[in-house]
Structure 1
Amino acid sequence: MTFDPAELGRSKSDLANRLRALRKRAGRTQVWLAQRCHISQTKLSNIETGRITPGAVDVDLILGALDAPPEVVADVAALARLAHTEWQGKRASRRRGLEKRQAELSGLEAEAKEFRYFLPAMVTGLLATPEYIRASLAHSPVDVSKTVAGKLQRQAILYDEAKRFTFLLTEQAVKWAVVPRLAMAVQFDRLVSMSRLPHVRIGIIPSGTAVGRGPMNTFTLYDRRLATVETFTGRIVFQDSRDITEHLEVFGMYERHALFNDEARALLEEWATAYRS
């Protein structure tokens, strides 16, 4: 099944309809199927009406109980994966208002305990100086002052010692010239400062590091339950366990090539000195 953002809005209802149709075609009742799958009849009813999106395990149990043929299993499994994927277009986000988007991110950050950020292109707002944030919004149709204030307010989460943060940045991302050289040096200093927090890890992947897999895109992992992938036109939100696992594996691979602690700080301080000279 190919990815089409337009399909994401329909995938949950399509999955519900498909599972219900398969049960009826097999001549089974909800009570019978629920018992075979060791789930409640209420849960099965909610799955078939689209009120609950079933996970991979639930889908496998249902398809197994109904003796679905391999081609049906593959098709429905792909549909289930799509049902756990959400497309958030930037145009729609702007129409809803950036304040709402900032509130959504704050809510997501408040719930999660462990954060992993892969940043191959530029520094994330959580680690950015006010000048860097302001400059990065130059081409966005938003209230810049209000947006900068909102992003700076969200940075307070970095001081919550109950949470753990790992940021992986390529050298290109660190040096991407969003602001003039002196302001970039201040941005390097900011990264050094934040890396000294005991629950914040900032890893740098220097240019020239031999890594077999290219950095395709920016992504963020919230615990082990959700991943967001950034594109030019929006973001994709993955909640399927298989997608989360794959992103964790990719993150781990890049993490093994990164420099942390004193090694990372030495690089950042060297670059800051060079940019000031």
Structure 2
Amino acid sequence: MSEPLVLVGNAGAVRTLSLNRPAALNSFTSELHAELLAALEAAAADAEVRCVVLTGAGRAFCAGQDLADPMVAPDTSPGAAPKDLGHVIEKLYGPLVQRIRSMPVPVVAAVNGVAAGAGANLALCCDLVLAARSASFIQAFTKIGLVPDTGGTWLLPRLVGPARALGIAMLGDKLPAEEAARIGLIWQTVDDAALADAAAALAGRLAAMPSRALVATRAAMNAAQTMDLDTALAEEARLQRELGAANDYREGVEAFRAKRAPVFKDR
């Protein structure tokens, strides 16, 4: 049997998903899409999972779309119809983005090398991005006559503002991980040798926190980008009403009063 395209590992309540096409820098094929989406769905459905780490096997996180894949490779024969790249986005990339952005637990990207094109935006879709100092992010789309996808047009302006977003997207220059952290594109960089341990520690910390509150924080901040202040305040009230009736709120308050560590269970 061939080796799986997504390696799945478990450590306590943390599930690690590793893209596993190292010889091709973990670039996307339709088969990799299918395995990654299935692995994310399985993690979402498993009540024991409280945080997901997404990383890449070998020396790269993900080099984006494999341009040799038949679903996207242009047919150069005379009179051949062009490939419908919009269909590829709708069928493969869109569902993947939506699944990551709606996971019922936090998702950490551990970027261990180049993250290019769709690979860069796949990482940015995660809640927190931790990168090795030698890692880099590249919006490579204009180099082949395309626009950022995998949520890039939505993510980039929200993360770094419109001026930087346009520069990053139009020029397609390699952005070192430390610069990405400096401008707020990602959460943090660490020494290369420390990445795995740092990602495990961050994921373990998130797994011990109240999952429903973390996910609601993500949703509220995303929604607030298009709200006026009154609407955002109303949404905060709605969420606090919902979370205030849950077990984790009671547990958090009781633990605070008893000066002990809380044990959160809601998901």
TM-score, normalised by the number of residues in structure 2: 0.27
Look at both structures and tell me which one has the larger radius of gyration over its CA atoms. Answer: 1
Query: Counting helix residues as a fraction of each chain, which structure ranks higher?
Result: 1
TM-score, L = length of structure 1: 0.26
